[in-house]
Chain A
Amino acid sequence: MLRSERLRFRDRAGVVEPSFVQPTAGRLLRVEELIELVVQHDGQRRGELEEAIEDWLSDATQLKLWRGLTDLLLGRCRFEVESPWDPVELRRTLFERSAARFPLALVPTRVERPTRASLVEEVASERGCDPDTIETALYADLEESQRLLGFERPTAQELLEEYNLALCQGLLCHASELRVRLDAPAPKELRQLFRYLRFFQLMFRAERGAPHDTGRGAERGVRSSIETREGESLTLTIDGPGSLLRQSKKYGVKLASFLPALLLCPRWRAEATLDLKGQRRKLELHPDLPLQRPYRDRGTWVSDEETRLRQRLTSDFDDWELVESAQILTLGPQEVTIPDLTLRHRPSGGVVWLEIVGFWRRDYLKRRVEALERSPLPLLVLVSSKLATDETKALAGQGRLIPFRGVIVAKTVIERAAALLGV
Chain B
Amino acid sequence: MNRFYFESGTVCLAAPAASEPPLVKGASWDTRVGAFRAEAMRYRDWLTLLVRAEVPLCDEVRAYDELALVHRRTMPPRGYQSDAVAAWERSGRRGLIVLPTGAGKTYVAEMCIARAQRSTLVCVPTIELLFQWHDRLQSAFGEIVGVVGGGEYEPRPITVITYQSAGRMIDHLGARFGLLICDECHHLPSPAYSEIARCSIAPFRLGLSATPERADQGHALFDELLGPEVFRREVDDLAGRYLSSYEQVPITVSLDPIDAELYRTLRGEYLSFLRERGLRMRGPADWGAFVAEASRSKRGRRAFRAFREQRRIAFCAPAKLRALNEIFGRHADARILVFTNDNDTVYRISRAFLLPALTHRTPGRERKELLERFRDGRYPCLVTSRVLNEGVDVPEANVAVVVSGTSSTREQIQRLGRILRPQEGKQARLYELITGETVEVAVSERRRSG
Contacts and interface: CB of A to CB of B under 8 A. Distances in A.
Contacts of A103: 325, 328-329, 332, 353
A104 B329 CA distance: 9
A99 B379 contact: yes
Contacts, number: 116
A222 interface: yes
A102 B330 CA distance: 11
B195 A248 contact: yes
Contacts of A217: 28-31
A91 B370 CA distance: 11
B100 interface: no
Interface in A130-157: 135, 138-139, 141-143
Contacts of B10: 241-242, 244-245
A333 B33 contact: yes
Given A116-B354, A250-B195, A244 B363 contact: no
Contact of B8 (A88, A102, A240): A240
B306 interface: no
Interface residues of B, number: 50
B34 A241 contact: no
Given A204-B32, A242-B10, 6 more contacts: A59-B298, A102-B380, A103-B329, A116-B354, A245-B37, A245-B38
A97 B353 CA distance: 11
Q: Is the interface of B mostly helix, strand, loop or mixed?
A: mixed
A221 B354 contact: no
Contacts of A240: 8
Nearest to B298: A59
A310 interface: no
Contacts of B328: 102-103
Interface string B354-389: 111000010101100100000000111100000000
23 contacts: A58-B298, A58-B301, A58-B302, A63-B295, A63-B296, A92-B369, A94-B354, A97-B354, A98-B353, A98-B354, A98-B355, A102-B380, A105-B325, A221-B17, A222-B32, A241-B7, A241-B8, A242-B8, A242-B199, A244-B28, A245-B10, A245-B26, A334-B32
Contacts of A97: 354
Contacts of B37: 241, 244-245
Contacts of A249: 191
A119 interface: yes
Which of A104, A119, A241, A246 gathers most chain B CB within 10 Å?
A241
Contact of A99 (B18, B325, B361, B378): B378
B8 A248 contact: no
A58 B303 CA distance: 12
Which of A92, A221, A333 gathers most chain B CB within 10 Å?
A333
A242 B73 CA distance: 41
Interface in B261-305: 295-296, 298, 301-302
A201 B353 contact: no
A13 interface: no
Q: What are the nearest 8 A-B pairs in CB distance?
A: A103-B328, A220-B17, A333-B33, A98-B354, A222-B34, A241-B8, A217-B28, A102-B380
Which of A95, A135, A216 gathers most chain B CB within 10 Å?
A95
Nearest to A206: B32
B353 A116 contact: yes
Interface string A80-112: 000000001001101111110011111000000
A411 interface: no
B325 A106 contact: yes
Contacts of A116: 352-354
A250 B354 CA distance: 45
Contacts of A220: 17-18, 29, 31
A248 B366 CA distance: 38
Given A91-B366, A102-B328, A220-B17, A143 B361 contact: yes
A119 to B, nearest CB: 6
A333 B13 CA distance: 13
Contacts of A221: 17, 31, 34
B146 interface: no
Contacts of A139: 347, 351
B317 interface: no
B192 to A, nearest CB: 8
Given A58-B298, A92-B369, A241-B7, A222 B354 contact: no
B356 A95 contact: yes
A88 B363 contact: yes
Contacts of A222: 31-34
A241 B380 contact: no
A221 B381 CA distance: 66
A375 to B, nearest CB: 14
Which of A98, A105, A244 gathers most chain B CB within 10 Å?
A244
